[in-house]
Amino acid sequence: MSDNTLLKPIRLGSLDLPNRVIMAPLTRQRAQQPGNIPHQLNATYYAQRANAGLIISEATQICAEGQGYAWTPGVHSAEQIAGWKLTTDAVHKAGGRIFMQLWHVGRISHTLLQPNGAAPVAPSAIQAKAECYVQEADGSHHKAPTSMPRALPTEELPGIVEAYAQGTRNAMEAGFDGVEVHAANGYLLDQFLCSDSNQRTDSYGGRVENRVRLVLEVVDAAVSTVGDSGRVGIRISPMGTFNGVDDANPLETFSHLIKELNSRQLAYLHINKPDWVGGTYEGFDELLQALREQYSGQLILCGGMDANSGAEAIDSGLADVVAFGRPYIANPDLVARIQAGAEWNNINPATLYGGAEIGYTDYPTLNG
């Protein structure tokens, strides 16, 4: 039996977790079609992983316009809410806890994925140097460069905030224990945060106080909808360049965001390391250390860790809990493996996105 720090219980926001092992949000593109509806297969997959201290669901579109990849689930139709109930019931029955990650992709989308073939929305009409994943009318599917977006006029921003509030309401109705606002990885909220994608001249662009405004309005809407700030988290990816975002001064941008978040007493701040997509990010460790020191709440760190480096991140004070992405795909019994000091299965990259049971619910546990 291991005495790894990851196995110690902790209170995170309003939840008591039996361990500090978090299942990271992971896109798997296996919602039922048509309608992007979560179904029994997804419930089985999440329940297999209910050993996590907390599961954070795959990114889930809060509105039809928020979708950027074929077959990702939504939480904006009655069928989707009912479908998610299968997952939350199964996870709770298995003794687990699960937050929903609320997603709007902004400009990381394609006219083929948008209602009436419209242009995706963004802070500014600047096309991302990034790809999304589309299905054609004939059923064929493939990666595609993102479409040219249209800039959201100021008058439409309250509607975006309301879409997050509605997503939060729907997630809670579906039985989730809380929500995570996805403000990372080059999606809509990160597009507002980062100086390169946000060239607005209204009160939502330009100086840092303006670029963080939409994120904070969304966080506040989620908190007031849930009615408990300890059930709302936020995920950011400082210095990340995935999906074509770039910020001129991540220390300034994210320090200011954190200063504002400190007064909101959220469940957690979730930081994902930029190198999860490869590449080197000089100065990230120093940036992370500075942000950790500025943030007064609890921090989830995610990206490329194992049982030892995960425990070390907590022991050194850098993180309070640690999230595992790819390891949780391949190891449904990740906590038992940490307890036993056992080897971890490797993922099969070919079955990450789309498909059904294979590479999803059939990874072996220690018991076979």
What is the residue whose two structure tokens read 């995920």? 235
Which of 234, 335 has the CB closer to ligand PHB?
A: 234
Select from 59, 91, 179, 218 the one that contacts ligand PHB (CB under 6 A): 59
Q: Is residue 295 among the annotated active site residues?
A: no
Separation between Cα atoms, residue 236 and residue 151, nearest integer Å: 22
Backbone angles phi, psi at 63, to 5 degrees: -155, 165
Instruction: Tell me if the bond preceding 123 is cis, omega within 30° of 0.
Output: no
Which of 86, 184 has the CB closer to ligand PHB?
A: 184
- Interface mask (CB under 6 A) for ligand PHB, residues 182-221, using x and -? --xx------------------------------------
Which of 149, 240 has the CB closer to ligand PHB?
A: 240
Closest CA to 201 of 193, 211, 187: 211
Secondary structure class of 129 (helix, strand, coil): coil
Separation between Cα atoms, residue 270 and residue 326, nearest integer Å: 17
CB of 27 to ligand PHB, least distance (A): 3
CB of 283 to ligand PHB, least distance (A): 22
Query: Both tokens of residue 25?
Result: 């949000």
What angle separates helix 284-294 from helix 250-262, to the nearest 10 degrees?
20
Which of 229, 243 has the CB closer to ligand PHB?
A: 243
Separation between Cα atoms, residue 341 and residue 364, nearest integer Å: 16
What angle separates helix 78-93 from helix 157-173, to the nearest 10 degrees?
50
Contact between 57 and ligand PHB per CB under 6 A? no
**Under rule CB under 6 A, how many of the chain's residues touch ligand PHB?**
5
Q: Please check whether residue 50 is in contact with residue 177, taking contact to mean a CB–CB distance below 8 angstroms.
A: no
Catalytic residue among 45, 69, 187, 295: 187
Contact between 69 and ligand PHB per CB under 6 A? yes
Contact between 27 and ligand PHB per CB under 6 A? yes
Please give the residue whose beta carbon sits closest to ligand PHB in the complex: 27
Which of 59, 269 has the CB closer to ligand PHB?
A: 59
Contact between 122 and ligand PHB per CB under 6 A? no
Residues in 344-363 at the binding interface with ligand PHB, rule: CB under 6 A: none
Separation between Cα atoms, residue 189 and residue 216, nearest integer Å: 10
Catalytic positions, written as ranges: 187
Residue ranges binding ligand PHB (CB under 6 A): 27, 59, 69, 184-185
